[in-house]
Amino acid sequence: MSFKDGSASSLPQMEQMLNARPELLQKYKDFYTTLCRDPSVPDRLRELCRLRVAAVHGCDAEWRLRDARVPISEDELRHLRSGNAGAFTDSEQAALSIAETLPFGQHQLEDDQLSEVRRHIGERGTVALLTECAFFDVVCRWKISFEIEARDRLVAEMPLDDGALA
């Protein structure tokens, strides 16, 4: 039985698979939820970065999730997909430059990129945002590696929908 198709559970595939390690699942949820609720990074900034990391990876399973609390227009989605950061505000561009670089260019991050993020959201926000982008990077790698199915999903509150992982 594979991880992917062995259950008729109504739980999302991500949660079904992580539930193979129940001792980790709750800690994983707790960590991810803590990241998504950190007040130092605006929800919209976090969601833009999550989607840009997904686009950089070409991870449809992550890209097709949407945080219901953060409406993003079709135009903005198109710009996120193509990497046209110029369509966004200064603070969003600063954050997106981190999301753009981190997945495959962590050694190319420049002092100026971090300084610009600090100017907008402070030291605490910068630490939180960098951690979030790094985690989104991990989630995309995980979903791609396990070939998690991609489907459109509006999540009540990232990363959880009615308590289940998206």
Residues binding other proteins (CB under 8 A):
21, 23-24, 27-28, 30-31, 34-35, 38, 40, 106-107, 109, 111, 114-115, 118, 123-124, 126-128, 131
* Residue 141 parent element (H or E): helix 111-145
Q: Which of these, 102, 131, 106, 105, lies nearest to 40 by C-alpha position?
A: 131
Residue 31 or 154 with smaller CB distance to other proteins: 31
* Residue 162 burial by Cβ neighbours in a 10 Å radius (0-12, 13-18, 19+): exposed
Residue 31 or 78 with smaller CB distance to other proteins: 31
Residue 35 or 55 with smaller CB distance to other proteins: 35
Q: Least distance in Å: CB of 123 to other proteins?
A: 5
* Residue 71 burial by Cβ neighbours in a 10 Å radius (0-12, 13-18, 19+): exposed
Give helix then strand counts, H and E, for the chain.
7, 4
Strand locations in the chain, DSSP E? 65-67, 153-155, 160-161, 164-165
Q: Least distance in Å: CB of 59 to other proteins?
A: 19
Pairing state between β 160-161 and 164-165: antiparallel
Q: In this structure, what are the phi and psi dihedrals at residue 129, rounded to the nearest 5 degrees? A: -65, -45
Q: Least distance in Å: CB of 138 to other proteins?
A: 11
Q: In this structure, what are the phi and psi dihedrals at residue 155, rounded to the nearest 5 degrees? A: -95, 135
Q: Least distance in Å: CB of 57 to other proteins?
A: 16
Residue 130 or 155 with smaller CB distance to other proteins: 130
Q: Least distance in Å: CB of 77 to other proteins?
A: 27
